[in-house]
Amino acid sequence: MDQRVVTLDNMNPHVIKMEYAVRGPLVIRATQLEKELQAGAQKPFSVVTKANIGDAHAMGQKPITFIRQVVSICLTPTLLDDPSFPDDAKQRAREVMAGCKGSSLGSYSDSAGIESIRRHVASYIQARDGHPSSWENIILCSGASEGIRGIMKLMVRHDNGNKPGVMIPIPQYPLYSASIAEFDLHQIGYYLDESTNWGLDLSEMERAYEEAKAVCTPKALVVINPGNPTGNVLSRENIEAVIKFAHERNLFLFADEVYQDNVYADGCKFHSFKKVTSEMGAPYNQMELASFMSCSKGYMGECGLRGGYAEVTNMDPEVKTMYLKSISAKLCPTTLGQAVMACVVNPPREGEPSYEQFLTEKKGVLSSLAQRAKMVVEAFNSVPGMSCNIVQGAMYAFPQIMLPEKAIAAARKAGQEPDVFYAFQLLENTGICIVPGSGFGQRPGTYHFRTTILPQPEMLKTMLEKFREFHTKFVEQYQ
């Protein structure tokens, strides 16, 4: 056999370095276990519970009927004549098709998306915030991931030995650390404050910035609100403070707002960065800001269809031209994902035939999620050795676990991080797949895990019981 051309020794070192824990070794093992169970293997559990990923439909959540109707009509326009499809769905489908070349979703759209949908997104933002939004600042994308990566990529350069730095929260959604590693940017982690329900701590951000300045050129600041994995919803004061922080230091703001519909806790409210910068007035309303939305989350949970948008405010026009050029080579985001976003930003209105059902479905999902958010937190807080902040929003809890010294030693002996060791034990013993805190980042010496709140209520209840049992046994074993 000849020597291979591309090997671990000569391939892209940044691809080797990047990690994406949400789909890491634990998930691979969980999938294996599922197959083993199917093949009849005996395990201490009969079903694998994948609480590792924010994937609502995978956990049994039903799609929103209206969205599916619109996109089905878009694909099979003869359904326009089918009386079982409501008129508002037909009207939305007609409008999407009219925006497609040759009236077919099978044609490439503009790389930034179908103009009529970009306009609807801008109207949605304008109505949400009470401040103008321009459709030309809206870039549709195949999931928020694509938008985030595409804009982050604009900052990459390596010619002066001093890498551009990107500030990200710790714990963070690992798309950020993975993209920073892949693009060979400098990661500037700022710890979120577990003692204030994972809020932003300005002095910690200051520390992170000052330390990083010596080794990189800080360029951007990422905020995830509502937070993944933390479940935190930022207060308006916190947002204002972070905007001032970014302005003083001349940082490009990334506002990851994909969970904007997922706010559960009393007294919490979603405030978009766009709205807050607008209301703070000059100079804050002139800052470069990219904010991201997705159809994967919220009440719709249409992850697989890959829809999303970026709103890009105050980007240098020449840079924006380059951005648009850079996405053009990839041709276009999926038109179907765009059509889903069209429904999300322009849902049935009062008086339209689908309105009641849409509202019932939407509220049903969101209120059930709110219940489950509570249920998870209560369950974890009732287990000795676990403590869990309130899940104010998003779809996750990120509890801290106290691990016995002997368990830590056993993990080290096995060559694993203690939280990874714990997660593997949990998986092998209960079939529950969660993601260890080290996949998101955590203060040294603390251990956490992330679980989604997405299993349907009955399944979640069983999962939480099994969890308690496991944790108790685990602690006993290593006491």
Ligand X SMILES: Cc1ncc(COP(=O)(O)O)c(C=O)c1O
Shortest spacing between CB 175 and ligand X, in angstroms: 6
Residues numbered 415-474 forming contacts with a second copy, rule: CB under 8 A = none
58 DSSP 8-state letter? G
Residue number with CB closer to a second copy (294 or 425): 294
The contact pattern for a second copy, residues 47-66, with x = CB under 8 A and - = no contact, is ---x--x-xxxxxxx-x---
Point out which span in 120-128, 178-186, 227-235, 470-478 binds a second copy (CB under 8 A).
178-186
Residue number with CB closer to a second copy (301 or 347): 301
Residue number with CB closer to ligand X (344 or 475): 344
Residue number with CB closer to a second copy (82 or 87): 82
Q: How far is Cα 103 from Cα 115, in angstroms, rounded to an integer?
A: 13
Q: Which residues bind ligand X (CB under 6 A)?
A: 54, 143-145, 173, 175, 224, 228, 256, 258, 294, 296, 303, 308, 331
Q: Give how far Cα 319 sits from Cα of 42, 163, 291, 316, 324, Å.
A: 58, 19, 17, 5, 9
Give φ, ψ of 395 to 5 degrees: -140, 25
Q: How far is Cα 136 from Cα 159, in angstroms, rounded to an integer?
A: 32
Work out which of 134, 235, 326, 371 binds a second copy, going by CB under 8 A. Answer: 326
Residue number with CB closer to ligand X (354 or 392): 392
Point out which span in 119-127, 271-279, 325-333, 469-477 binds a second copy (CB under 8 A).
325-333
Residue number with CB closer to ligand X (295 or 464): 295
Q: What does 328 bind: ligand X, a second copy, none (CB cut-off 5 to 8 Å by kind)?
A: a second copy
Shortest spacing between CB 107 and ligand X, in angstroms: 11
Contact 257, 291 (CB under 8 A): yes
**End-to-end C-alpha distance for the chain, whole angstroms:** 52
Residues numbered 250-269 forming contacts with a second copy, rule: CB under 8 A = 250-252
Shortest spacing between CB 118 and a second copy, in angstroms: 14
Residues numbered 9-28 forming contacts with a second copy, rule: CB under 8 A = 10-16, 18-20, 22-23
Shortest spacing between CB 31 and ligand X, in angstroms: 18
What residues does 401 pair with on adjacent strands? 386
Q: What does 224 bind: a second copy, ligand X, none (CB cut-off 5 to 8 Å by kind)?
A: ligand X
| Tokens at 278, concatenated | 């607008």
Q: How far is Cα 369 from Cα 392, in angstroms, rounded to an integer?
A: 11
List helix spans (H) across 113-182: 115-129, 144-152, 175-182
Q: In what order do the strands lie in the sheet with 186-191?
A: 138-141, 308-313, 289-294, 252-256, 217-224, 164-170, 186-191
Q: What does 294 bind: a second copy, ligand X, none (CB cut-off 5 to 8 Å by kind)?
A: ligand X
Shortest spacing between CB 265 and ligand X, in angstroms: 18
Apex CA 235: angle with CA 231 and CA 236, to 5°?
145
What residues does 164 pair with on adjacent strands? 217
| Tokens at 41, concatenated | 């293997």
Q: What does 304 bind: a second copy, ligand X, none (CB cut-off 5 to 8 Å by kind)?
A: a second copy
Half-sphere exposure of 144 (CA within 13 A, CB side): 24
Shortest spacing between CB 157 and a second copy, in angstroms: 6
Other Cβ atoms closer than 10 A to 449? 29
| Tokens at 52, concatenated | 């590792």
Residues numbered 103-132 forming contacts with a second copy, rule: CB under 8 A = 104-111
> Hey, is 292 helix, strand or coil?
strand
Where are the extended beta strands (E) located within 373-478? 386-387, 396-397, 400-401, 432-433, 435-436, 449-452
Q: Is the dihedral of CA 20, 23, 27, 29 positive or negative?
A: negative
Q: What does 219 bind: a second copy, ligand X, none (CB cut-off 5 to 8 Å by kind)?
A: a second copy
CB within 8 Å of 331: residues ≥ 6 apart: 108, 111
Residue number with CB closer to a second copy (330 or 406): 330
Q: What does 256 bind: ligand X, a second copy, none (CB cut-off 5 to 8 Å by kind)?
A: ligand X
Say if strands 400-401 and 386-387 run parallel, antiparallel, or are unpaired.
antiparallel
| Tokens at 467, concatenated | 């969890």
Point out which span in 150-158, 192-200, 264-272, 369-377 binds a second copy (CB under 8 A).
150-158
Q: What does 463 bind: a second copy, ligand X, none (CB cut-off 5 to 8 Å by kind)?
A: none
Work out which of 122, 208, 212, 305 binds a second copy, going by CB under 8 A. Answer: 305
Residues numbered 197-236 forming contacts with a second copy, rule: CB under 8 A = 219-220
Point out which span in 192-200, 264-272, 332-340, 364-372 binds a second copy (CB under 8 A).
332-340
